[in-house]
Amino acid sequence: MSATVNPPVAFTQDELGWVSWIDPLPEAELTERHYAGLVDRSRAKSEYFRLLVRDPEVLEARTKTDKDIFYNVVDGLPRAERELAAAATSRYNGCIYCASVHARFASTYSKRRDDVQRLLDEGVKADLGERWNAVVKASVALASTPIAFGPANIAELRRAGLDDAEIVDVINGASFFNWANRLMLSLGEPSK
Amino acid sequence: MMSTQDIIDTLAGIEPGSALDAVRARRLQARENAQKSYLSLFEPIDAGDVSLLERAAVAAFVTGLHGESPVATFYREKLAASAGGAALLGAIDAEIARGKTSGPYGSYPAGPLSVENTAGLIYRVSAASKPALGARLAAALEHAHLLVFRPRDAAAADMKALLDAGWSATGIVTFSQLVAFLSFQVRVVSGLRTLAAVNA
């Protein structure tokens, strides 16, 4: 839609923009039903969310699912590794935009920026140490179609020290990005 | 709205009171909103832009492409039970058989990632199935296959193809959420079933 799109051609931790291919709702047309769907009112400024809010009920439920999977840290997997699952899934599916956001978060929470960058540069086979390798491998197995996740992935996650609640966080985080990637990739494109 | 049994628990075989039930209870908002996502897509308050039959047909196709599973069976039965759905079962089954492959594959924007480009099936609905499916659903299945197996190939032209086939912008958003949500749901169910089986 926009003439100013400058698509990135490589995976990056830089901040990217995103431009919709179909019309978002104009901010002036948003009703209370739409604001409920946006969850955070400030999201009315985002082209992506004003597009998704065309179906406000689905957007609201999706956003709340996302927030709990990634931000509810009362227990379970550390934030860094939930973000790693999201970044690895995005790298494997090929979503440059989602990978940029969640690689950045993984770096922030883990302080392992160089390892995260190797995931982006070398791909999901990059050697990131036993625990991260197990998370990346499980995420990739889940993202494959047909789904390749099996008992060997669970054994590997356990050897790396994850308990069942943490394994469920890997499953949820990686699975969720198969949702997110398909929206970002199919409704518009990233811009530098 | 939450009166329906939790669909992920049902499909993953998670029993009330089990260890995995307790783990899921610690992410109650995620559990409840995955369920609300399902209900919003399959029992919407407004089905004006995407009919219930279209939702059921796309769901049977998408989950069928992922292979045999309780999820695929569930949505195939949902299609069979939908008004007008039984007449589509043959065409959907035939298209699943034609569309099955392994993903993700596809191309990146020209540049350093081009070495990772992977060729694969570019699926199109068969001429034999088109009369039963109609133009709108035929376009939807082709787009759903793109999203399932090669989402990185999606382009602005694919939006135009859907608009040309009669899909509204709002309908495209709902339809995209449907395919994307199912991509999530089928994986959560598969992951949790695997974990439950290992623990059994």
Among B30, B66, B154, the residue with its CB nearest the CB of A145 is B66
Q: What is the ipTM of this complex?
A: 0.97
> In a 3-state reduction of DSSP, which class is residue B50?
coil
Q: Please report, as a single letter, which amino acid is at residue A24.
A: P
Q: Which residue of B has its CA nearest to A124?
A: B116
Nearest-CA distance from B86 to chain A in Å? 26
pLDDT in tens, B50-74: 999 999 999 999 999 999 999 999 9
The reported pTM is 0.97
Cα gap A83→A3, rounded to integer Å: 32
pLDDT in tens, A98-157: 999 999 999 999 999 999 999 999 999 999 999 999 999 999 999 999 999 999 999 999
Q: Does A159 touch chain B (CB under 8 A)?
A: no
Residues 6+ apart with CB under 8 A from A120: A11, A12, A13, A87, A91, A99, A103
Q: Which residue of B has its CA nearest to A7?
A: B109
Nearest-CA distance from B52 to chain A in Å? 15
**Half-sphere exposure (CA, 13 Å, Cβ side) for A93?**
37
Among A7, A146, A179, the residue with its CB nearest the CB of B183 is A179
Which two three-digit tokens encode residue B61? Answer: 């196709």
- Characterize B141-179 residue by residue with b for buried, 16 or more Cβ atoms within 10 angstroms of its Cβ, and e for exposed: bbbbbbbbbbbbbbeeebbeebeebebbbbbbbbbbbbb
> Pick from B60, B37, B70: which is nearest to B196 by CA?
B70
> Pick from B73, B80, B93, B86: which is nearest to B10 by CA?
B73
Neighbours of A188 (CB within 10 A): 25
